[in-house]
Structure 1
Amino acid sequence: MVIFQNNQYLRSIELKRESINSFREYPFCLPSIKHLKSLEFHPKVTFIVGENGSGKSTILEAIAVAFGFNAEGGTRNFNFSTSETHSELHNYIKLIKGIRIPKDGFFLRAESFYNLATNIDDLEREVPGLLSSYGGRSLHQQSHGESFFSVFMNRFRGRGLYILDEPEAALSPSRQMAMISKIHELVKQDSQFVIATHSPIIMAYPNAVVYEIKDAIRKVNYEETEHYQIMKSFINNTDKMLDILMND
């Protein structure tokens, strides 16, 4: 049984349902949000998983923005905006925080990483030396996967709240396994993670809670997730699965 602690950075969120005019409008029409009342976070790692369009990234974005992060990613000091595409959900959730304040934090999302990398280059011209915190080289001078991994490995310093939206999108399986090691290292340095992912590799991190979104949000064991079950079936029965998929 997971014991949620008062001294974690983010204990839970509550949806301010009484303030919502209509659950027929986006994003409140999403089943995951329509049925949401509250969500508790593990003091170390919380995974939110679900099919495309289930609302996991929308929920994660709202948590990040409500906590003070830029909607397109970065630290709480980033204020760039290329387009106002984030939902208004952050205005309708209440954050229940612990007694400790994180010393570090980052919102890392695959969807808008290019914009983040561009802003870091702009800031480097204003504050020379900033790139040293991101591996010492422009993120645009690396592949998407290399730059994404470089931010995670170099910029995350510990004692922080880290919100990651589909980090596997840019990473090979071996880099995803390396991410597990880095997550564990940061957890031992008093960090807390909230991660939306499709990756059965990343969500295998053991000291965590997994929430799966279907019609609603429910807590599940790792092996119960649809992602794990589909991947296991495919790997263990590749030829049979391919025959079914290709109707041969």
Structure 2
Amino acid sequence: RPTGLLEPPIEVRPSVNQIDDLLNEIDKRVKEGGRVLVTTLTKRMAEEMDKYLQRINIKSKYIHSDVDALERVEILRQLRLGEIDVLVGVNLLREGLDLPEVSLVAILDADKEGFLRNEKSLTQTAGRAARNANSLVIFYADKITQSMQRTIDETNRRREKQIAYNIANNIVPKTVKKSIEQIMQQTSVLDIKGFDETKSYAIQNDEDIINIAAEEQEIYKTIPQIEKAIAKTKKLMEKAAKDLDFIEAAKLRDEMFRLEKELEEMKGK
């Protein structure tokens, strides 16, 4: 890694008194200017955890499938800007989720084997802290499952290689830092009202994505051309939201708004 960042170390801690332990860790991270991700097994647990944190004056929010897809983009922006310190969720697996401010990922019930606690899920969730030099991942569990052990072993293997590389190349790990302007640009959707997540479209291949990328710079000559581009962009936006790729969904929604404005201007001529 060019910044010298290491895979975040993983600690296994008992689930007894896990909330008290987690609160201590949250307090430490927030005082250091970091952010915290907490993953639970169910939506109900995420919501209750969020309510509890807010009751004790910890700035938090939760994300799960009942939260409007593009509202999630706004919540991620708030986390990155420090308007909230803790994000509670069920599925925070999305690879490529760029959250360098996150210095702690806490996984509750890490020993409950299943889709959300298999090796792939644990590895991806832990990776949400991989952009911060002071990162830590905590597995709260009463036993170490095979998935947990494989995740820990693979993490340690990668860390050993990364540490050796850094020493050989005289690299000191540095957190990826981005300006407020860069964060705002990455999550540029403010108006989250009116998005319809009930419709879903199956995109058969990557051709539509390629076309959209090419057409972004086009000046459309006719109303039917713009209407077609709007429909295509909307399909891609809704698919991105369904796939939990909120940043891409935000970009596509902004593009759709631009096209709709262009259509209005053309019709007004």
TM-score, structure 1 as length reference: 0.29
Which structure is higher in strand share?
1
TM-score, structure 2 as length reference: 0.27
Which structure is higher in helix share?
2
